[in-house]
Amino acid sequence: MLGHDWTMSGLRPFPEVQRALDEMAPSGHRTVGWSVLNALARSQIRHGQSVVLDGVARTPEIEATRTVARSEGARFVLVVTECRDLAIHKSRIVGRERHIPDWYELDWSNVEQSRASWERPHDADLYLNTADSWDDSAVRLNDLLRRDDDAT
């Protein structure tokens, strides 16, 4: 699995890079981060490995990732995970420490801001509500992946 925040944490020690990302429109943190994730995904695919990208993806990032998969002859599966119960979501964020080197810890205000600017993709292969049972979500995901394997 490749995570957006982990990817971008590698750029944090470089103030010049941070300034350049801050000045980009749209946000360079988002666009550059997803560009790097897609390059790493392409490498994984070319090595015959599956790859999972983890981050708050919006339509442009999803389409770019879909294009990478298509150009590499790989299957693309979009799974949207979201916690639809705000109280549960907040309880999972407050006090959480991810310990990503050179990266900041997210607080609830960061999450609220992200939720406000994110539009739920309309064409996902699977939608999972993380407030639901982990076991039920795992069964649904495995069923989707098995169905896709049987179709190929």
pLDDT > 70 in the chain, percent: 97
Residue 54 pairs in a beta bridge with 3
How high is the mean pLDDT of the chain? 94
- For residue 33, the model assigns a pLDDT of 95
Q: Can you read off the two tokens belonging to residue 65?
A: 């990732």
Distance CA 93, CA 31 (A): 24
Please report how many Cα atoms fall inside a 13 Å half-sphere around the Cα of residue 86, on the Cβ side: 6
pLDDT of residue 147: 86
User: What's the mean pLDDT in 2-15?
Assistant: 95
Burial 37-72 (b: 16+ CB within 10 A, else e): bbeebbebbeeeeebebebebeeebbeebeebbeee
Instruction: Tell me 122's DSSP state.
Output: S
Per-residue pLDDT, 152:
54
What is the reported pLDDT for 149? 64
Q: What are phi and psi of 85, to 5 degrees?
A: -95, 105
10/102 Cα distance (integer angstroms): 7
Average pLDDT over residues 81-92: 96
- Within 10 A of 79 (CB to CB), how many other CB atoms are there? 15
Cβ within 8 Å of residue 107, ≥6 positions away: 93, 94
How many angstroms separate the CA atoms of 109 and 134, rounded?
Answer: 26
